[in-house]
Structure 1
């Protein structure tokens, strides 16, 4: 089974991914900011892991190296971590929250993708999965900063996909629709459950080598676009 690094692994989709992959025998290195939640996840699944603040570029690069050393190399990178400070019109946002979202939602995935490519390229094999959001497919009022970062990540993913595929490395952009996670202020039972979304991503990892999925978009029936 493959060695997998997952960011944002202590809650929601990342946690569901860690549980499902460990149950199927994958060797997982999980990362998140909540040390207690990470310890519980490690106890439950047997995964490896460590905490990291993805807003700190040095911690991001150190995380990748720790994970690679612990697993003996990373074969699958899942950039799942993401955050949105709040909903607000662009005119009402602050530079500090723009920079924070940039660091977590765009710079951290860039650094991890770059590190993964450096490791995977000599092997001629590997897989990078960038969990974006259907917000990148829209231009929603009050979501300006978050949308900017997610559309930026989509652009990075699409260029990387073209650079990586001739080298034998798969790169996929995943666009989940509304998901019922702690990311939201209140429960949304009409939305996708994290376990359902995780199943879709696990399938990407299990696809045969000759099948490459460039983009995976899925939504709950409650969403029409």
Structure 2
């Protein structure tokens, strides 16, 4: 294994890691040598994926502060240390303009997508620092970097995630903890299945993407491994966009 990407002996938590991007990140960290606590709010899914990967699992509703604390304590008890945190768990919420937003839905999206990451980092980063340093990767989104008429609270929360990474990078850098965000673009996952099957949507969206294809969960996971590993050792406070070029194109 290339030493630049070697995570042997490292201990990690990945929230929302039973499917899609979260599972791909967990699998990639394991392949790089890390031990990873698998977690989602569904206890059965968590147990199944943990067994499939041969890793410990701990169910956790990230909207519940006590469950977040229990996840960190479980991880420390299971792995003995903590070096890497990946905050991936999130929900999309109801689509539509802000003028028609359901404020209860807004509150839930903000709680799960942003507030939970603040709480989780406050719980986990002191342990990462105490072990000599490490990395946190906060999953944001391309939607936080572009205007959109239908992605409301989700985009707002993800913009907050990117800023959270910058602030925490400043706070924790002196203790050798690097904090970065990853912003996926359109990724082919189970959740994006209906969009992948919509020929009109795909034609429009791929015309806005220089690589002319959706990304894969593994490609987002590769970015996460880079940020967690020695290869990313001098990178902190960055928002790494993994979008096939959608952000920079003029659609031509």
**Aligned CA distance change for structure 1 residues 25 and 210 (closer, same or farther; 3 Å):** closer
Q: Which of 27, 42, 58 is the matching residue for 2:35? A: 27
Choose from 242, 246, 251 the match for 1:218.
242
Which has the larger Rg? 2
Aligned to 1:88: 96
The 5 A counterparts of 1:145-156 are: 145-156=153-164
How many angstroms does 1:208 deviate by?
A: 4.3
Q: TM-score, structure 1 length as denominator?
A: 0.91
The answer on whether the counterparts of 2:26 and 2:38 sit within 8 Å (CA) in structure 1 is: yes
Question: How many angstroms apart in 2 are the aligned matches of 1:40 and 1:123?
Answer: 30
Q: Match for residue 223 of structure 2? A: 200
Q: CA deviation at 1:34?
A: 2.6
1:50 equivalent to 2:50? Answer no
* 8 Å contact from structure 2 (residues 18, 49) kept in 1: yes
Q: SS at 1:186's partner residue? A: helix
Structure 2 CA distance, aligned partners of 1:172 and 1:9?
18
- Which structure has greater strand proportion? 1
Please, which runs of 5 or more residues in structure 1 have no aligned partner?
Answer: none
Aligned counterparts of 2:159 and 2:248: Cα–Cα separation in 1: 20
Using the size of structure 2 for normalisation, the TM-score is 0.82
Q: Pick the aligned partner of 1:112 from 108, 120, 127.
A: 120
User: CA separation of 1:135/1:25 partners in 2, compared to 1, >3 Å: closer, same or farther?
Assistant: same
Give 1:178's match in structure 2, choosing from 183, 186, 195: 186
Deviation of 1:218 after TM superposition, in Å, equals 1.9
Runs (5+) with no aligned partner, structure 2: 1-7, 197-201, 203-212
Q: Would you say how many aligned residue pairs link Structure 1 and Structure 2?
A: 225
Alignment partner, residue 139 of structure 1:
147
Counterparts of 1:98 and 1:88, CA distance in 2:
11
When residues 121 and 22 of structure 1 are mapped into structure 2, their CA distance, relative to the original with a 3 A threshold, is closer
Root-mean-square deviation (CA, aligned residues, Å) is: 2.0
